[in-house]
């Protein structure tokens, strides 16, 4: 664990918790893409299938449970909370996100480290995470305005991506075995999409 | 020791 990864994990956690708490406190999810939230919940569930098979650290296990629980809670609120669901901007959230799921899964079937259920779902989660922000990006461009909640959420997510890239550079320089190009390329694509989002956010 | 990048990350 280096400082960049810890900072990345904490900003990632903050992005999700701030979103969940604000949605719950204000009873509104206006401006938030439910499709992006669906994708993130799928990302965490698919990636953390190793929760019961591979123990890495107490920190890792707790964070995995928190990420799954909080992302599922956001989706639950947006779908089923009687007041929150009324504030959902359905007509602006039009991205066909199931294409992303299908394409990511197809890519995972082709590009993976081993042909096992866990490895394929792990690769799927990496590819899907890289593009999961797209429905939110499209929604932002359609609505044309960034409110505080969306802005903070994307700011923390962008910070998480930036710290993780620094973490990878650090690990690349300090660890002997570092050759997982699947995650690296996907991570760079994901960060580039956030850079686009930031650009749009700042010119507003 | 787990140093298998990036499976030891979140």
Predicted confidence (pLDDT) per residue in A104-129, tens digit: 999 999 999 899 999 999 999 999 99
Range A144-149, long-range pairs (CB < 8 A, 24+ positions):
A145/A31, A145/A204, A146/A31, A146/A200, A146/A201, A146/A204, A147/A30, A147/A31, A149/A19, A149/A22, A149/A23, A149/A26, A149/A30, A149/A31, A149/A32
Enumerate the residues of chain B whose CB falls inside 8 A of the CB of residue A122.
7
Residues on chain A touching B9 (C-beta within 8 angstroms): 5, 164, 167
Question: pLDDT tens digits, residue range A12-71?
Answer: 999 999 999 999 999 999 999 999 999 999 999 999 999 989 999 999 999 999 999 999
pLDDT value, residue A177: 66
CB-nearest partner of A177 from B3, B9, B10: B3
> What's the pLDDT at A195?
87
pLDDT of residue A64: 97
Given a cut of 50, whether residue B1 has pLDDT beyond it is no
Rounded to a whole number of angstroms, the distance from the CA of A6 to the nearest CA of chain B is: 10
Q: What is the ipTM score, two decimals?
A: 0.80
pLDDT number for residue B2: 46
Give mean pLDDT, residues A191-201.
84
CB-based contact A98:A92 (threshold 8 Å): no
pLDDT interval class at A169 (50, 70, 90)? confident
Does A77 score more than 70 pLDDT? yes
Q: Answer whether A64 sits within 8 Å of B10, measured CB to CB.
A: yes
Nearest chain B residue (CA) to A8: B10
Residue B3: what pLDDT? Answer: 55
């Amino acid at each position: 664990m280096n400082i960049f990864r810890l900072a990345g994990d904490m900003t990632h956690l903050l992005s999700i918790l701030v979103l969940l708490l604000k949605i719950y406190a204000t009873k509104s999810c206006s401006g938030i893409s439910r499709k992006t939230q669906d994708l993130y919940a799928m990302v965490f569930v698919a990636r953390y299938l190793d929760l019961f098979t591979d123990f890495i650290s107490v920190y890792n296990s707790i964070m995995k449970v928190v990420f799954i629980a909080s992302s599922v809670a956001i989706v639950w609120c947006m779908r089923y909370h009687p007041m929150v669901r009324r504030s959902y901007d359905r007509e602006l959230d039009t991205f066909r996100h199931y294409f992303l799921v299908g394409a990511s899964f197809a890519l995972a079937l082709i590009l993976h480290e081993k042909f096992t259920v866990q490895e394929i779902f792990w690769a799927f989660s990496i590819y899907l995470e890289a593009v999961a922000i797209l429905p939110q990006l499209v929604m932002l461009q359609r609505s044309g305005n960034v409110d505080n909640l969306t802005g903070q959420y994307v700011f923390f997510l962008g910070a998480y991506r930036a710290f993780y890239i620094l973490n990878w550079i650090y690990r690349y320089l300090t660890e002997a075995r570092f050759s997982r190009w699947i995650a690296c390329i996907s991570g760079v694509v994901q960060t580039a999409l956030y850079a686009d989002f930031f650009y749009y956010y700042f010119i507003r | 020791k787990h140093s298998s990048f990036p499976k030891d990350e979140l």
